[in-house]
Structure formats: C-alpha cells, structure tokens
Amino acid sequence: MIIDCHGHYTTAPRELELFRDRQLAGLADASRRPTSTDLGISDDQIRESLEKAQLKFQRERGTDVTIFSPRAAGMAHHVGTADTSRVWSRICNDLIHRVCTLYPENFVGVCQLPQSPGVPPANCIDELTRCVNELGFIGCNLNPDPSGGYWKDPPLTDRYWYPLYEKMVELDVPAMVHVSSSCNPCFHATGAHYINGDTTAFMQFITADLFRDFPTLKFIIPHGGGAVPYHWGRYRGLAQDMKRPPLKDHLLKNVFFDTCVYHLPGIELLTRVIPVENILFASEMVGAVKGIDPETGQHYDDTKRYIDQIQMSAADKTKIYEGNALKVYGRLKTALKQRKAA
C-alpha cells in the first residue's frame, strides 16, 4: 500500500471560498455575516472536485491513500479573531470529513486547528478532540506562526503549546508542522514561508528538551524538512556546539520528514542523510507546484517517480511508502480497517 501523508483539499468547490468571503465581510459589516454554516455543496460537487484532480493523480501515479487536510494556505489563522478561526476550521474539517466518507478507501482526515495569533493553543483542544473522536481524523496541522509571517507567537518548544501537546499525546495523533499563507510581503507563501517554517521548527526542536517532556509526541516536518537535510552537517554541528545529544537520539524518535521535494537529486539527498525510518512518502498534490518539469516530462510533484528511481532495498521503500506512516499516525491502521469494513 502507498500512503501519501500530505494532501490538501486545494480543489474544494468554490462555495467554500464564497462562504469565507461572507465570513470575512462580516468582520467589517456584521449584516453581511453568513446566516448558516451550510455551504450548499452537494456530494456530486465534491466527487467532481476530486475525480479530476486528487483521485485522478492517485490512479495515474499508483498511490492508494492520502492523509488529507484542508488547504494549508486557506487556514489563514492571522485573519479575524479566534472565533473566526473556530468557525472556519470547523467548516473546513467537516468538508474533509465528507470527502473521507464519500471515498473511505482513498482519504483519511487530518484537521485544521482554530489557532489565532496571541491566543493560547489550548483553545484548539475541543476541535482536535471533535475531529479525532467524532470524525475519525488521525492528526492535525499545527501552524508554528499563526501571525502569518511575523512570527509573533512563542517557539513550538514553549510551554505555551503544552496543553495541546498533552491532548495530542492522549489522543495518539501527530501534527504536521505547517504554516499557512503569509501576510508579510517579504515571504512568498509556498516558496519562502513554507520552507522557512519547516527549517525554523526543526531548529526550535534542537534547542530545547520538548521530547524529554513528551517522549511520544510526534511531528512531521513537510516539504522534505525545509532546508534541514541539505544542511544536515550544519544541524549536527550546531547541536554538537550547543552540547545537545546527537540528533538521532535527541529528535529522531519524534520528528519525521515527508518527501515533498520536487526533483530527484533532492530526494536522493533526503534518503541518503536522513534515516529511512524518519521519511514518510508525500506529494502535497494538488498543491504548491502544478506544472510539468520539462527536464523529465512529468509533474514536478509526482514524487513517487523519484523514490521509485532511488537505489534502496524494497523493505526500506515499503517503510517510506507505508510502514513509517502506520507508526507515526497511531490511529491510521484502525482508521483504514474501519473504512474497509464500512
């Protein structure tokens, strides 16, 4: 089985964005606030939005299941208030649940959290619990910078985040560390802010003892770990200069990287320097880069092709494609079984 651990519902019917427009218009003029959270999206619309995109690519590329969450750029935690974020997260998560219910073989849900800048992340516990216990979700996306490019909240290793981590551990769900859109003109979202968010989070984890406090807490750092594998010597060296334990002991029981790196040399580097147990297959399709690479004639984000080309034992490839995801997402095995039975 091939599990893609990083897919967003980037192709949701436009009614979702129309709702969002009305919701944000309501911040300026309460009379424009949506009167219902019913998006008016039919099952057929959902099917159509997926059949020609995510499902088509799953079939063409030969992947089986996508761990699926709302559009990351759409979370926009920096916009509006904590209540804006609460309502918006719930709606986006419910839509993911409909996707997973319509296509139980193809998608397993991961939720958006109702974060808001300056608001302690404990406010996300209710929505996380609802998504896991009521909707069968198996993880969450955690935004290390709810301010959208100004990095005003504390680092992920601060006790500020601990109540949420306690709940994650209790529910046995990991978080993918994933920023949202950038409202800072210095940062292009998918080209700078996303990658910087990944790099920043990893360095935060190096400097602290978060995993001594939470030995079973797990994070996936997407986009191949940002800059980290390319600078693996730098990170090993920085940890050493700071008298931290070797990274393998310090972080690699808790921190994992996905394979959203859009060329073969990058994937080769990733699989060469990072232990195979810490790599989870992912493509982020339909996502950041949509085009076809003229050098290969294939989609940039068809990451399975790169992994298929790598010199590696079949057993190790199975870990990347399936085994590691089943370990990191503690609820995935059960979720897959239940869906097959449904």
Query: Which residues bind to a copy of itself, rule: CB under 8 A?
Result: 144-145, 149-151, 153-155, 184-188, 190-192, 195-196, 199-200, 203-204, 206-207, 223-224, 226-227, 229-238, 240-241, 261-263, 265-266, 268-269, 272-273, 288-291, 293, 300-301
**Given the residues 48, 284, 295, 322, the one annotated as active site:** 284
Supply φ then ψ for residue 226, to 5 degrees.
65, -125
- Euclidean distance between CA atoms 71 and 92, whole angstroms: 8
> Cis peptide before 286, with omega less than 30 degrees from 0?
yes
For 103, 134, 281, 335, 339, the CA distances from 221, given in Å and listed in that order, are 26, 26, 12, 22, 27
Task: Give the DSSP letter string of 267-282.
Answer: HHHHHHHS-GGGEE--
H helices present in the chain, as ranges? 15-28, 43-51, 54-61, 72-75, 82-102, 125-129, 162-171, 194-207, 210-213, 232-241, 247-250, 264-273, 303-309, 314-318, 324-328, 332-341
Return the number of the residue (32 or 263) whose C-beta is nearest a copy of itself.
263
Annotated active-site residue 284? The verdict is yes
CB of 202 to a copy of itself, least distance (A): 8
- Euclidean distance between CA atoms 167 and 128, whole angstroms: 8
CB of 11 to a copy of itself, least distance (A): 15
For 20, 22, 24, the CA distances from 36, given in Å and listed in that order, are 12, 11, 14
Return the number of the residue (111 or 282) whose C-beta is nearest a copy of itself.
282
Return the number of the residue (33 or 248) whose C-beta is nearest a copy of itself.
248
Q: Is the distance from CB of 204 to CB of 154 less than 8 angstroms?
A: no
Return the number of the residue (70 or 226) whose C-beta is nearest a copy of itself.
226
Tell me if residue 175 falls in helix, strand or coil: strand
Return the number of the residue (65 or 195) whose C-beta is nearest a copy of itself.
195
Cα-Cα-Cα-Cα torsion 44, 12, 140, 75, nearest 10 degrees, comes to -150
The residues with which 66 forms a beta bridge, in sequence order, are 4, 107
Specify the DSSP element, H or E, that contains 9. strand 3-9
Return the number of the residue (40 or 237) whose C-beta is nearest a copy of itself.
237
CB of 203 to a copy of itself, least distance (A): 4
List, by residue number, the catalytic residues. 284
